[in-house]
Amino acid sequence: MFCLSLNSTDPFFNLAVDEYLLKFSNGEYLILGINNKSVIIGKHQSAHRETDTKFITVHNLPVVRRISGGGTVFHDTGNLNFTFILNSVEGKQIDFRKYTLPVIGFLSSVGVEAKFEGKNDLKVGGLKISGNAEHVYRNRILHHGTLLFNSDLELMRGALRKDTSKYETRAVRSNPASVTNLSPVFKNTENHFDTIQEFKSLMLDWFLKNSPESAVIDLSDKEIEDIKSLAETKYRTWEWNYAYGPEYQFKTSFEYDRTISSCSLHVRDGIIREIEIKGSSELELAVKKLVGCRHMPDDIQHVLEKENIFKAGFDIYDLF
């Protein structure tokens, strides 16, 4: 197994690494990486339903869609990401418990007894420390997951949408769970890590010692250039991160110019295809211009500013 410790903290690049090595290599890999603050959604999810659109916009948190299924997770520099890319036998590829066993073994070696619970979680004392997802490509399996070390849990809670009832869609739902960081857990063990980099290095060393014929490698210059290209043409694009998700219906009500208005809009491929607002006659006329507009705050604001809607204190995030 090739062991790769990523120096990049760019979530767009690092997710592209996973896909590139899965599809354009025959090797088996363990990849360890740390990402800057970002919200990572599953392949079949709706970005706006899973995230608090206003919160992530204010806090400049990018949304990045991965190629694996499952629910939404929060990344920052207090979270360690691990990826296994392995050749597999058809029909026996999806196995969350199997691929998390080495991680459980590593944690046990540093005094933390983690348990596999539910469909794809690792928990300590009943609290989630790791979410996992998988993707099958031909005879290869990609399994990746998170390990919360000293992540900003308040920022995580703010970034994830709590009430999703305004969205009707067949998109995959996240399964919220109470979480904890590993750093306070280590205080009750003989092990102490000052930084997540120390934790990452120890995990890499453990795998090197416990995986036969494993070796540390670096990406070649060509691989880096190809991965950068994949990140630019896919992972940094609105088309992948927002438009790719399943269509959805959004329904809500809010006050505008001292009038309660009800709103219904239908979004497909990230574009508002139909919209109806009842209540304020001024707003009813203006929102018709939103048909064909991307369901994104800046795009909607650009259209409605031309209609002079914001003079009455309209909040753009009422449409999310």
Q: Same domain for 207 and 156?
A: yes
d(CA 154, CA 144): 23
Q: What is the DSSP letter of 247?
A: P
Sign of CA dihedral 81, 86, 90, 92: negative
Domain containing residue 200: CATH number: 3.30.930.10
Query: pLDDT at position 291, please?
Result: 97
Q: Same domain for 256 and 130?
A: no
d(CA 267, CA 273): 6
Q: Same domain for 289 and 307?
A: yes
Q: Same domain for 127 and 211?
A: yes
* Residue 95, CB-side half-sphere exposure with 13 Å CA sphere: 13
305 — phi, psi (to 5°)? -60, -35
Q: Same domain for 197 and 257?
A: no
Query: Domains in the chain: how many in total?
Result: 2
Show which of 243, 276, 302 is a domain's final residue: 243
Q: Same domain for 143 and 91?
A: yes
Closest alpha carbon to 9 in 183, 200, 206, 234:
200
Show which of 189, 216, 243 is a domain's final residue: 243
Q: Same domain for 136 and 265?
A: no
What is the three-class DSSP state of 271?
strand
d(CA 77, CA 199): 12
Structural domain that includes position 9: 2-243
Query: pLDDT at position 89, please?
Result: 75
Token digits for 291? 């048909």
Q: Same domain for 295 and 166?
A: no
The one-letter amino acid code at 217 reads I
40 contact partners, CB below 8 Å, separation of at least 6: 11, 15, 63, 64, 65, 66, 72, 73, 74, 75
Show which of 227, 243, 259 is a domain's final residue: 243
Radius of gyration of the chain (CA): 22
Q: Same domain for 196 and 254?
A: no
Domain containing residue 296: CATH number: 3.30.390.50
Q: Which residues pair with 263 in a beta bridge?
A: 252, 277
Q: Same domain for 93 and 233?
A: yes
Q: Same domain for 233 and 257?
A: no
Query: pLDDT at position 37, please?
Result: 98
Q: Same domain for 49 and 166?
A: yes
- What is the mean pLDDT of each successive set of 10 residues along the chain, which is 320 residues long? 97 98 97 98 98 98 97 97 90 79 95 90 95 93 96 98 96 93 86 89 96 93 98 98 96 91 97 95 92 97 89 87
